Amino acid sequence: MLTLNAAKAAKPKKKEYSIKDGLGLFLSVLPSGGKYWAFRFSWQGKQQRISLGVFPDVDIKTARERRDACRELIITGLDPRLPRRKGIEDDTETVKSVTFAEYAENWKTFKLLKLAKKRGNIQSKGLKQKPERQSTKIQIERYLRLDFLPSLGEIPIKDIKRQDILSVLRKIEKRGSLSIVKKCMTWLNEIFRFAIAEGLIEMNPASDLDILLLEHGPAKNNPHLAKEELPKFLYDLRNYKGEYQTMLGLRLLLLTGVRTGELRFAFPEEFDLDKKLWLVPPETVKQLQRKVFATKEKIPAYIVPLSEQAVEVVKELLSLCRPGQKYLLSHRTEPMQSISENTLNHGLHRMGYKDKLTGHGIRATISTALHEMNFPSSWIDAQLSHSDKNTTRLVYNHAQYVEDRRGMMQTWADTLDELEKSYVPVVLDKLVA
């Protein structure tokens, strides 16, 4: 029998593998490091398996209890893959009584396992493993808890009508969260399609509801600052009252022009401070991701030259690293995790720049300013890894302009220093007055 220590100690390999516990129960270990319990059994002459939960959220004792419950169902002639409510013995009644809350939990477990397997495939290619977006897990749980379960949770999944689902979506729509409505509709469709595939229902009540919902308009341009607004912003950034790491992260965005995701998932080892370079793995660069996964060709790292000021910021961030920290910018309470996708924007909000500037808007600020300073568009586009229909040209041309870009970004950093200094006397004069 498997022990708790053995389950904890199981290390990931290139391919998924299983550790046997007994009586059909085993622990499956994914290449990504995730682990889940599963139960193997024979049903109508064929070998089947069912997931019993993610380890360590589901401990060994609970997994064995779930296995035993499945074995009892098989003995009585019932398929353990059908979700059940306690105390109900008739198979038809079981299907009728499965609530939305119970089935949504099954779907969520499957969804997260599927994402874990995808991350395992990325790892098996030898690519940098980008963490699961926090919004994938957290947003599903948040909107299940806030919107789906209060309205639909206790209703048997077989009895849910289109009007029930439309009512939930309308409430989210009234809050003005039109992009969230679209995500929620996608998740609801998956839940009911999942239930159809398992034979619990025959019709998807979430299908074709998009025609009744408000259109999610085109994405608004990320707000950005004009050059004349930078002196005050730089002063405000220098006097930021929040987390020191967040302030440094915002300053590094302003000095490099990288995307927030490229900074969030940056490893310390990507930085060569002697050569003043940041080598961003291609699978992290938005414009290169499709090419990375579509070809066996080795794609070189995306080169970001660093100014003297950017090097100093990176050095300061490295000096803040804690034991076990994985990313350059780490989560406040979980050093193995990166900062959340909202951290930098929340920092800007705290500074008073809500609706005035976003992390992505910093890129537009840099682009506008550099064009006003008459730098060539080819250098600016290469620095910001702007979209290029010819991805091969995008992959290789940026390296051609490295030294040109180095000079450009050093000039930009020096300009920022001068702009910041220009604002201080104004503030001092006001204080004296």
- CA-CA distance, 256 to 347, in Å (whole number)? 18
Nearest to 321 by CA among 239, 244, 241: 244
Identify whether residues 277 and 334 lie together within a single domain: yes
In a domain, 162, yes or no: yes
In the numeric block, which tokens belong to residue 216? 């999610």
Q: What is the DSSP string of 60-109?
A: HHHHHHHHHHHHHHHHTT--TTS---TT---HHHHHHH-BHHHHHHHHHH
Domain finish residue from 212, 238, 270? 212
The CATH number of residue 205's host domain is 1.10.150.130
In a domain, 319, yes or no: yes
Compute the half-sphere exposure of residue 421: CA atoms within 13 Å on the CB side of its CA.
6
Identify whether residues 402 and 301 lie together within a single domain: yes
In a domain, 126, yes or no: no
The parent domain of residue 60 ranges over: 4-76
Q: Are 376 and 367 in contact (CB under 8 A)?
A: no
Residue type, 16: E
- CA-CA distance, 250 to 226, in Å (whole number)? 17
In a domain, 266, yes or no: yes
- CA-CA distance, 231 to 235, in Å (whole number)? 6
The CATH number of residue 278's host domain is 1.10.443.10
In the numeric block, which tokens belong to residue 159? 């009895």
Identify whether residues 171 and 45 lie together within a single domain: no
In the numeric block, which tokens belong to residue 70? 């499945």
Identify whether residues 142 and 69 lie together within a single domain: no
Identify whether residues 332 and 189 lie together within a single domain: no
The count of domains in the chain is: 3
Compute the half-sphere exposure of residue 128: CA atoms within 13 Å on the CB side of its CA.
22
Identify whether residues 235 and 185 lie together within a single domain: no
In a domain, 127, yes or no: no
Q: Is 330 helix (H, G, I), strand (E, B) or coil?
A: strand
Q: Is 36 helix (H, G, I), strand (E, B) or coil?
A: strand
Q: Are 81 and 50 in contact (CB under 8 A)?
A: yes
User: Would you call 287 exposed, middle or buried from its count of C-beta atoms within 10 A (0-12, 13-18, 19+)?
Assistant: middle
How far apart, in Å, do the first and last CA atoms of the chain sit?
78
Length of the chain: 433
Residue type, 319: S
Compute the half-sphere exposure of residue 252: CA atoms within 13 Å on the CB side of its CA.
30
In a domain, 231, yes or no: yes
DSSP-assigned letter for residue 297:
S
In a domain, 139, yes or no: yes
The CATH number of residue 31's host domain is 3.30.160.390
Domain finish residue from 183, 212, 241? 212
Following CA atoms 313, 318, 320, 322 in sequence, which dihedral angle do they give, to the nearest 10 degrees? Answer: 160
Residue type, 230: L
Q: Are 97 and 156 in contact (CB under 8 A)?
A: yes
Q: What phi-psi label fits residue 193: left (phi over 0), alpha (psi between -120 and 50 degrees) or beta? A: alpha
Q: What is the pLDDT of residue 417?
A: 96
Q: What is the pLDDT of residue 421?
A: 92
Q: Among all chains, which residue has been given the structure tokens 């200094």?
A: 421
Q: Are 164 and 121 in contact (CB under 8 A)?
A: no
Q: Are 37 and 109 in contact (CB under 8 A)?
A: no
Q: What is the pLDDT of residue 397?
A: 53
Identify whether residues 188 and 288 lie together within a single domain: no
Compute the half-sphere exposure of residue 415: CA atoms within 13 Å on the CB side of its CA.
16
Q: Are 230 and 419 in contact (CB under 8 A)?
A: yes
Domain finish residue from 212, 244, 263? 212
Q: Are 317 and 197 in contact (CB under 8 A)?
A: no
pTM above 0.75, yes or no: no
Q: What phi-psi label fits residue 310: left (phi over 0), alpha (psi between -120 and 50 degrees) or beta? A: alpha
Identify whether residues 16 and 41 lie together within a single domain: yes
Identify whether residues 241 and 370 lie together within a single domain: yes
Q: What is the pLDDT of residue 45?
A: 80
Identify whether residues 161 and 54 lie together within a single domain: no
Per-residue pLDDT of the chain (433 residues; tens, 9 = 90+): 889 889 999 998 888 899 999 999 999 888 777 888 889 998 878 888 888 878 888 889 988 988 988 888 888 777 787 654 333 344 444 444 688 988 888 888 878 777 666 555 444 444 454 444 445 677 788 788 888 889 898 899 889 999 999 998 888 888 777 778 888 888 899 999 888 877 788 889 988 777 766 554 444 567 899 999 999 999 999 999 999 999 999 999 999 999 998 899 899 999 999 999 999 887 666 655 555 455 556 667 788 999 999 999 999 999 999 888 989 999 888 888 889 888 999 999 999 999 899 998 999 999 999 999 999 988 998 898 875 544 444 444 556 688 999 999 999 999 999 999 998 655 444 444 4
Nearest to 304 by CA among 248, 345, 263: 263
Q: What is the pLDDT of residue 85?
A: 36
In a domain, 428, yes or no: no
Sign of CA dihedral 329, 335, 337, 339: negative
Q: How far is CA 261 from the centre of its chain?
A: 9
Identify whether residues 244 and 363 lie together within a single domain: yes
Identify whether residues 62 and 185 lie together within a single domain: no
